[in-house]
Amino acid sequence: MSWAWFHKLGSPRWFFLWTKSWALPLFCLGMVCLLLGLVWGLAFAPTDYQQGNSYRIIYIHVPAALLAQSCYLSLGIAGFVFLVWRMKMAPIFINAVAPIGAVMALMALVSGAIWGKPTWGTWWVWDARLTSVLVLFLLYMGIIAIQNTLEDIVLADKAAALISVLGLINLPIIKYSVEWWNTLHQAATFTLTEKPAMPVEMWMPLLISVIGLYLVVAGLALWRMQSYILEREHRASWVKQEVVGDGL
Amino acid sequence: MTYFSYFKAEFLVLLRRKQDVINALLFFITVIVLFPLGVSPSPIFLAPAAGGIIWCALVLAILMAIESMFKEDYNDGSLEQLVVSGLSLPLLVLLKILVLWSVIVIPLLLMLPLLSAMLYLPEGSFWVLVATLLVGSPSLFLIGAIGSALTVSLKQGAMLMLLVILPFYLPVVVFATGAIKAAQEGLPYSGLLAMLLAISLLSLVLSPVMTAISVKASVN
């Protein structure tokens, strides 16, 4: 199998031209999946015998929390790739995905707080999982802040990559916090290896909205990366061609 | 330049520019004074909170001290000289951190008996506090050095560095105050001290390399 197509993705130009037509379909498909999952989950899935209707916030909370962690994992990998191989696309990726991840972490925290009120009787507890997701949010904000404050772009890229890699240490803490410590937060809803404990009418819409949100985020990330590429490569002739086209 | 001459020079520079170190220590005392006055001066509140108050003040004071650790060297160009000196940059950075650590932590240890008495820290947990300080503070300096090197080129880098570095300090604070609390309640605390030591050792491995990368990126 030839890996040339993969190496070509490291070049901003190839990446831009190759993904130009991908962002919109990914985003639209994701939106359709997300809406389907949400409407199914919020309106048609059976109620929980213990939590009643309040459990339905799972259809927003779980996808957002999963995405917050996946985005950070990808940031960490991109940071590592940049520090080791100095690929040009890696800082563009970090720049594009960090704000999306921050929004996802915030969504997970807010929806979790809203869910916590009826089920635990409190908006917030200083529980291991909640605190580590809050730290994840702060790490995202740190990456965004350092990217935007440092004026030297080479230094800013390197700084964001370093912080992304260092912050990876927080991910296993989030993942295993509910297993290591006895906390209020319940254990994972989904695992790859086991059948979920919920009935199929309950987990199916959840699965669909998770996939939908992944696709939406992928589409958004591609869009943001494309505009960063145009901004950073604005001196290249292919960008002029691309933006101006055949004439103004 | 040799490693030893660099170590000696760093030490002398810090001793002759005492004001930076003294400022950090004064800041530490001021933050500690803030808590009895701001929350409650009664021993019922202070005794269980003393370990946490001391550690919070410690983290803030260390961040203040570390923030400017490369600033002077960056402004007068000696940071560049380190990069081109031909010696191993991570090792030089490690020496610099070691000097700063000893200059700040030794006076802190000397002040600790007085301050912990002022906060009514139970006597039995005093030595646990000293132990957490000894095994936990190296990681604070090592992690902070990365942030300091990244923000050295900024005029007003303190806020940014705090924002970026503070999340990495949280586990250290959690384990340190956890150990002090466990000691006060008569529970075993050696596991928590071992976690602190593990964090310090991990940052001892990672931080000099990462700081060297950041220094190189900052001076070019």
CA nearest A79: which of A146, A169, A171, A157?
A157
Cα–Cα distance, A45 to A37 (Å, whole number): 10
Enumerate helices (H) and strands (E) in chain B, giving the number of each. Answer: 9, 0
Question: What pLDDT was estimated at residue A124?
Answer: 85
Q: What residues of chain B lie within 8 A of the CB of A146, using their CB?
A: 150-151, 160, 164
B51 within 8 A of B183, measured Cβ to Cβ:
no
**Selected residue of A136, A143, A150 to mutate for chain B interface (largest B Cβ count, 10 A):** A150
- Window from A6-10, B81-85, B166-170, B176-180 with minimum mean pLDDT: A6-10
Please provide the DSSP assignment of A47-86 as one string: PBTTTBGGGGGHHHHHHHHHHHHHHHHHHHHHHHHHHHH-
Cα–Cα distance, A34 to B13 (Å, whole number): 61
Question: What pLDDT was estimated at residue B206?
Answer: 92
Q: What share of chain B is helix, strand, coil (3-state, %, to 5)?
A: 85, 0, 15
**Selected residue of B139, B143, B146, B150 to mutate for chain A interface (largest A Cβ count, 10 A):** B150
Q: What residues of chain B lie within 8 A of the CB of A143, using their CB?
A: 164
Q: What residues of chain A lie within 8 A of the CB of B152, using their CB?
A: none
Question: What pLDDT was estimated at residue A194?
Answer: 64
Question: What pLDDT was estimated at residue A196?
Answer: 65
Cα–Cα distance, B173 to B169 (Å, whole number): 6
Question: What pLDDT was estimated at residue A177?
Answer: 73
Q: Identify which of A138, A150, A158 has the shortest CB distance to residue B213.
A: A158
Selected residue with higher pLDDT from B128 and A174: B128
CB spacing of A154 vs B218 below 8 angstroms: no
Q: What residues of chain A lie within 8 A of the CB of B166, using their CB?
A: 138
Residue A193 token pair: 């290896």
Q: If phi over 0 gives left and psi between -120 and 50 gives alpha, with beta otherwise, what is residue B97?
A: alpha
Question: What pLDDT was estimated at residue A190?
Answer: 64
Per-residue pLDDT, averaged over B131-151, amounts to 94
- ipTM for the whole complex: 0.84
Please provide the DSSP assignment of B15-31 as one string: HHTHHHHHHHHHHHHHH
Q: Can you give the residue ranges of every domain in chain A? A: 57-234
Task: Identify which of B62-66, B137-141, B214-218 has the greatest average pLDDT.
Answer: B137-141
Q: Identify which of B150, B170, B171 has the shortest CB distance to residue A159.
A: B150
Number of residues written out for chain B: 220
Per-residue pLDDT, averaged over B6-14, amounts to 91
What average pLDDT does chain B have?
A: 91
Tens digits of pLDDT across chain A (248 residues): 567 777 777 788 888 888 888 889 999 999 999 999 999 988 888 877 777 788 888 889 999 999 999 999 999 999 999 998 888 889 999 999 999 999 999 999 999 999 888 888 888 888 888 888 999 999 999 999 998 888 888 899 999 999 999 989 888 887 777 666 666 677 666 665 666 667 777 888 889 999 999 999 999 999 999 999 988 888 888 888 878 776 65
Cα–Cα distance, B138 to B196 (Å, whole number): 10
Per-residue pLDDT, averaged over B132-156, amounts to 92
CA nearest B171: which of B150, B202, B147?
B202
B100 within 8 A of B69, measured Cβ to Cβ:
yes
B133 within 8 A of B105, measured Cβ to Cβ:
yes
A101 within 8 A of A67, measured Cβ to Cβ:
yes
| Three-class secondary structure of residue B214 per DSSP | helix
Q: Binning pLDDT at 50, 70 and 90, where does residue B94 land?
A: very high
Question: Which string of b and e fits B15-36 if b means at least 16 CB within 10 Å?
Answer: eeeeebbeebbebbeebbeebb
Question: What pLDDT was estimated at residue A41?
Answer: 87
CB spacing of A158 vs B160 below 8 angstroms: no
Please provide the DSSP assignment of chain A as one string: ---HHHHHTTSHHHHHHHHTTTHHHHHHHHHHHHHHHHHIIIIISPPBTTTBGGGGGHHHHHHHHHHHHHHHHHHHHHHHHHHHH--THHHHHHHHHHHHHHHHHHHHHHHHHHHHHHHHSSS----HHHHHHHHHHHHHHHHHHHHHH--SHHHHHHHHHHHHHHHTTHHHHHHHHHHHS--SS---S--SSS--SS-HHHHHHHHHHHHHHHHHHHHHHHHHHHHHHHHHTTTSHHHHHHHHTT--
CA nearest A146: which of A161, A167, A134?
A161
